[in-house]
Amino acid sequence: MSPDRLQQDLDYVAAAVRRHDTSLGVPAIYFLWAVLVPVGFALPDHAPTVAGPYWLVAGIGGGLLSWWLAVRDARRAGINDTADGRRHGLHWLVGGIGFLVCWLPVLRGAPIEMAVGNFLLVAGLVYALAGVHLERPLLWSGLVMLAAYVVLTMFALPYTWTITGLAIGVSLAWAGMSAVRAARHAA
């Protein structure tokens, strides 16, 4: 085998592997959370008592629906990557545990504002780290949440939750549209 032939073969293999590495996520999952998040984030401002039950149902239901959409997308794409699926599952499971732990201070008598503040901090970290390790578009949603946490903690401005939810919804919808465009371009 000549060095030139070896180089050409390795270039071919590297190009094939790179084509598989350009996953921008599942558009339907972004659009799902682009709807669920603004509604859920508006609740602490407008109907605080409904926020907990909403996130219990929408969080678990949305998580299960996201899992189903991801499996459907993988089967349609023809790539059944169990290691990647485990990585995603473990990330969001740890995030889910973090969200549940946020409510512990309330059980010990702390005001509900403390729990919702913690919720925003955990959500920001979970989304930003998902952007770093799993799907890059989620990084921007995570950073918006972390910025909102700082604003909420330092300034206590009115309707911070509603505005944050809308900003996250827009960033997720934008991520979804980018993923759709990338998929069309690849096809």
Residues forming contacts to another protein in the complex (CB under 8 A) are 1, 3, 6, 8-10, 12-13, 16-17, 19-20, 75-84
In single-letter form, the type of residue at position 6 comes to: L
The token pair that represents 59 in the structure block: 């969080």
CA angle (133 as vertex; 65, 36 as ends), nearest 5: 30
The per-residue DSSP string of 86-142 comes to HHHHHHHHHHHHHHHHTTHHHHTT--HHHHHHHHHHHHHHHHHHHHHHT-TTHHHHH
DSSP code at position 74: H
The overall longest dimension of the chain from CA atoms, in Å, is 74
Chain centroid to Cα 4, Å, comes to: 44
| Nearer to another protein (CB atom), residue 45 or residue 84 | 84
Nearer to another protein, 46 or 86 (CB): 86
Give the shortest CB-90-to-another protein separation in angstroms.
Answer: 16
Min CB(67)–another protein separation in Å = 17
Q: Which two tokens stand for residue 57?
A: 């149902």
Q: How far is the CB of 52 from another protein (least distance, A)?
A: 38
Q: Which of 21, 187, 17 is nearest to 9 (CA)?
A: 17
Q: Which is nearer to another protein, 154 or 186 (CB)?
A: 186
Nearer to another protein, 46 or 75 (CB): 75
Q: Which C-beta is closer to another protein: that of 7 or that of 153?
A: 7
In whole angstroms, what is the distance from residue 143 CA to residue 145 CA? 5
- Residue among 10 and 104 whose Cβ is closer to another protein: 10
